Amino acid sequence: MRNSTPPIKAPAGSVPAKAGTGLKFPHVDHILEARPHLGWFEVHAENFMIKGGRPREILHEVAATYPVSIHGVGLSLGSADGLDHTHLERLANLVTDIRPGLVSEHLAWCRSGATCFSDLLPLPYTAEALEVVSANVSRAQDRLGRQILVENPSLYVDFTISEMRETEFLNVLTERTGCGLLLDVNNIHVSGTNLGYDPAAYLRELDCGGVGEIHLAGHHVRQIENGTILIDDHGGHVAEPVWHLFEQALAKTGPVPVQIEWDNNVPTFDVLAGEVAKADSILDRCFNAEVRNVCAA
């Protein structure tokens, strides 16, 4: 049963099924001057929420040339407290102002009481959590008047109290709320390694019909006493196993926009553009250009 009327889909024609990357401040001057050939840019909503000011001006300038996706990290869809009204209103203001092709958030929480933790924190996959997240997603979509994509998280801890797998949680969430999915392939690999599940099985179990975007990123491999843990640090090149999993994911999702995330140790724009070109070459190999030029809905 849905919690609310299915929202209107995001406006078509905005973000193509091509590779893009995050807009990083060290690259802004180059992007605005050289206008490099690139499919689209994604921005973290919270970096541009303040009305006025240079950051919002930059975003307007970029959005005038490139398709843009707004990716939130602070809405806290998993908060048992519900959504923060002020934050949702600021997000709505940004979305109305920029009119991005896609809007996305995370299957996570980052707020408890009056404290904001500024990290994407893990949720137990319980029926109660599903109710909470469904209600929060529906409220967000109702306020924004459009569909949002919800991203699968990278995880370092598991829960004894979880009642379902993440894939089942997401399948029910999309069915209940009409939200789409942002499939982070690196996160599947990271979480699968850390928690001991098979990423390929994850892809088989997930209903990928609602995937509206894919994320790729680098991770850090840390040796610990009992083995290895992967840290989703967005601080380097996409790892080979993730590229491989990406191709498997595309077979299920079809052509969708793909974003290279590189948020720490930000390289020169050329290095980032190289990763984007690699993702584009895989999209080229998997799908013909005519299909890919159809924009994501």
Partner 1 sequence: MSALHEFQTSFGAYLTGDAAIEDCAGLSSDTVENAAIYQNNVRHAHSGALASTYPALRNLIGEDCFDAIADQFCEASPPASSVLSEYGEEFPAYLANCPELSGFPFLPEVARLEWAMNVALHSPLSPVTQASDLARLAEAESTDISDLLEPTTSLQLFMSEQPVQDILIAALANDAERISTIEHAPQRLAIFRRNEGVVVEPLTAAEFTFLTAIVLGQSFGKAADQAIAQEPAIAIENIIGRLLTLGVFAALPLTSKGLPS
Q: Which residues bind partner 1 (CB under 8 A)?
A: 46-47, 49-55, 57, 73-74, 76, 79-81, 86-87, 90, 109-119, 121-124, 126, 128-129, 132, 156-161, 194-195, 229, 231
Q: At its nearest, how many Å lie between partner 1 and the CB of residue 288?
A: 41
Question: What is the closest distance, in whole angstroms, from the C-beta atom of residue 193 to partner 1 in the complex?
Answer: 12
| DSSP code per residue over 160-202 | SS--S-HHHHHHHHHHHH--EEEEEHHHHHHHHHHHT--HHHH
Question: Closer CB to partner 1, residue 224 or residue 288?
Answer: 224
Please, what is the minimum distance in Å from the beta carbon of residue 140 to partner 1?
14
Q: Is the CB of 4 or the CB of 47 nearer to partner 1?
A: 47
In a 10 Å sphere around its CB, with 0-12 CB exposed, 13-18 middle and 19+ buried, how is residue 59 labelled?
buried
The label of the residue with tokens 């894939």 reads 167
Closest CA to 49 of 90, 83, 109, 98: 90
* Cα distances (angstroms) measured from residue 244 to each of 100, 189, 200, 207, 258: 30, 10, 10, 20, 14
* 67 in Cβ contact with 54 (< 8 Å): no
Name the nearest CA neighbour of 232 among 284, 154, 124, 116. Answer: 154
How far apart CA 46 and CA 75 sit, in angstroms, is 9
Choice between 86 and 288, CB closer to partner 1: 86
Taking the least distance from each CB to partner 1, the nearer of 37 and 227 is 227
User: For residues 11 and 55, which CB has a smaller minimum distance to partner 1 in the complex?
Assistant: 55
Helix (H, G, I), strand (E, B) or coil at 148: coil
Shortest spacing between CB 248 and partner 1, in angstroms: 25
Q: How far is the CB of 123 from partner 1 (least distance, A)?
A: 8
Please say which residue, 89 or 270, places its beta carbon nearer to partner 1: 89
Amino acid at 204: R
Shortest distance in whole angstroms from residue 208 CB to partner 1:
27
